[in-house]
Amino acid sequence: MLPFPTDHPQGPPVFRFAPSPNGPLHRGHALSAILNAELARRHGGRFLLRIEDIDAERSRKEHLAAIDDALRWLGLVWEQPVRQQSQHMDDYARALDELKRKDVLYPCFCTRGALAAKVAAAEARGVEWLRDPDGAPLYDGACRDLPSMEREARLAIGEAHQWRLNMRKALALIGPLVWRRFNPQTGATMDVVANPLRWADPVIARKGLPTSYHLSVVVDDALQGVTHVVRGSDLEAATDIHVVLQKLLALPQPLYWHHPLVMDGEGHKLAKSKGSQSLQDERAAGIAAHSLQAEAFLLLAQ
């Protein structure tokens, strides 16, 4: 039996595969897509494809076409129309406004370079700079307590800024949170205590955009009625931020399963950024779709 989230309306379970078209797919993406489609098939559910292309500079038409081609090659069938995040900025802007109304966001004028310089200076003094679960230096909160006059003045002249979540303020409002992990084999669920403070004040809207990965993903999962989020375990820590945003925006919380990542020969996770062998390369080398399917089914049978 597939467990169900308590605050979702009853209905068929809804799964989604949500790739970003900013690089070639690799075997880990294929695994994620198959797992979502297969769980939907086994449980009479729906399988959606969502294109996470808020990053206009890095998103490419050829990667989009390659996603379509790869999923067809895998024999998967998904619902139409496909939601493409770049077409729905209004939805994210509304959610961003709501968070601003709740007074849990602040504009941050820091550049990446300025933070990097602080980190380098601290490390040169032998001071260890704390990092988030992805290994990025934690934001030091420099813009959190700017005097409101200064803040307004800098906004008024159009100084480039991102919007960050004041995590302590948000948590004071909503209290401690858990998210629910589900086991796709046994149907058992487990509460996981969220630890969002390990992200400090995450970026909720990037410079020049009304959104970020975190905001778009929670808005879309809610709008699309996603009940079960199945994605790689590299995104498990980010769930802490997602459940905070869901609570602040009064959105239902899906159940989560973060599946094991596909590793390369040296035990590193496959990643676009590291130029791992792409799915297309593997196809050219003769890998068969059914061997990827077998790999996914094995995870569901363990």
Please give the residue ranges that form the binding site for ligand GLU (CB under 6 A): 18-20, 52, 217, 231, 235
Structure tokens at 193: 């205590």
How many C-alpha atoms does 72 have within 13 Å on its Cβ side? 6
Q: How far is the CB of 121 from ligand GLU (least distance, A)?
A: 32
Closer residue to ligand GLU, CB minimum distance, 13 or 19? 19
Closer residue to ligand GLU, CB minimum distance, 20 or 115? 20
Sheet holding 105-108, edge to edge: 105-108, 162-165, 203-205
- Contact present, 194 and 243 (Cβ < 8 Å): yes
Q: How far is the CB of 43 from ligand GLU (least distance, A)?
A: 19
Closer residue to ligand GLU, CB minimum distance, 82 or 142? 82
Say how many Å lie between the first and final Cα of the chain, rounded: 16
- What are the residues facing 228 on neighbouring strands? 15, 255
Closer residue to ligand GLU, CB minimum distance, 165 or 226? 226
Closer residue to ligand GLU, CB minimum distance, 143 or 194? 194
Q: How far is the CB of 84 from ligand GLU (least distance, A)?
A: 12
Q: How far is the CB of 231 from ligand GLU (least distance, A)?
A: 4
Q: How far apart are CA 289 and CA 70, in angstroms?
A: 9
Q: How far apart are CA 96 and CA 92, in angstroms?
A: 6
Q: Is 267 left (phi over 0), alpha (psi -120 to 50) or beta?
A: left
Grouping H, G, I as helix, E, B as strand and the rest as coil, residue 81 is coil
Q: How far is the CB of 89 from ligand GLU (least distance, A)?
A: 16
Closer residue to ligand GLU, CB minimum distance, 20 or 162? 20
